[in-house]
Structure 1
Amino acid sequence: MLDDTDRRILRQYQAAPGVASAELAERAGVTPSTLARRLAAMRAEGVLKGVRGVIHWPALGYELEVSLRVTLDKTAPRAFDEFIVSARGVPEVIEIQTFLGTVDVRLAVVARDLGHYQTLYREKLLTLPHIADIEALMHVALVKHDETVPL
């Protein structure tokens, strides 16, 4: 499992994922070769899943984000699978989560404005298969978004 050095590397990596390897090694108190070896091992073990670009949707003209809580008609044998395949085909659906409980699926949806969302909702989202109930929650403010974990 992870030792103190791995945790120190990960803390620094989370804090500044875009810094050069030499600076990251210095911040973590290890040599560049140790850093490279440890990061490679953590990637191989699945601890590090990858590096990604995070897009600020409003900068691209998507001003609205809506969470849809969906309850599916579970009398259909493949309701989950068919719903998820169809939802993946909607470009404005940026996240799909499944749950156990009264809500089966949550979709995160982006839209340019309210008119775009209304069209999207009527023409694409309500036509997804096996929907028994749907609740829309309009995002007002992002109070906290942190993908770091305490190490």
Structure 2
Amino acid sequence: MPDATDRRILRQLLADPDAATAALAARAGVTPASLWRRLDKLRETGVIAAIQLRIDWRALGWEVEVSLRFTLDKTDPRAFDEFIAAAREVPEVTEIQTFLGSVDLRLSVIARDMAHWQQVYRDRILTLPHVSDSEALMLVSTIKDSAELAL
């Protein structure tokens, strides 16, 4: 279980994942060698699963982001597996999540513009198998996008 020092390190790492080791260690109140040992331990125990690269798709010209919620026809026991396999083949799908409740799955889909979105929707989304109902939610703005919790 992470101690107070580990939590301090995690808070600093979340606040500035690109910080140099010496700066991160200083802000966390540890030496660089201690920082590395503690980060290694946090990785080994699975507390830190990965440090990920995040791409700003809008900066690359992908202006449309849509969240699609699906309810599947679950009379076929292969419905989930076949839907997920087909959704993975759609290059514009950036995220697939499954849920309990009236919504079974959610896909995040990006497109360059509305014309591209219409093409993706018609040619790739509407052809996904076992869909009994769907709802599209177009992203207007992101108010908060953070993995930070009180550590």
Deviation at 1:144, TM superposition (A): 1.1
Q: Report the alpha carbon displacement of residue 137 of structure 1 after superposing the two structures with TM.
A: 0.8
Which TM-score applies when normalising by structure 1? 0.97
RMSD of aligned Cα (Å): 0.8
Query: Which residue number corresponds to residue 50 of structure 2?
Result: 50
Return the alpha-carbon distance in structure 1 between the equivalents of residues 63 and 146 of structure 2: 21
**5+ residue gaps, structure 1:** none
Shift of residue 40, structure 1, vs aligned partner = 0.2
For residues 1-151 of structure 1, the aligned pairs below 5 Å read 1-151=1-151
Query: In structure 2, what is the Cα distance between the partners aligned to 1:139 and 1:30?
Result: 41
Mapped partners of 2:13, 2:120: distance in 1: 38
Distance (Å, rounded) in 1 between the aligned partners of 2:112 and 2:137? 16
Q: Deviations over 1:52-100 (max 9, x none)?
A: 2111111111100001010001001111111111111111000111000
| Letter aligned with residue 54 of structure 1 | R
CA distance in 1, matches of 2:130, 2:16: 43
Q: CA deviation at 1:44?
A: 0.6
TM-score by length of 2: 0.97
> Using the alignment, how far apart are the partners of 1:10 and 1:67 within structure 2?
30
Runs of 4+ aligned structure 1 residues displaced above 2 Å come to: none
What are structure 2's unaligned runs of at least 5 residues?
none
| Other structure's SS at 2:33 match | helix
- Percentage identity across paired residues of the two chains: 60
Distance 1:17 1:58 in 2: 21
Equivalenced residue count is 151
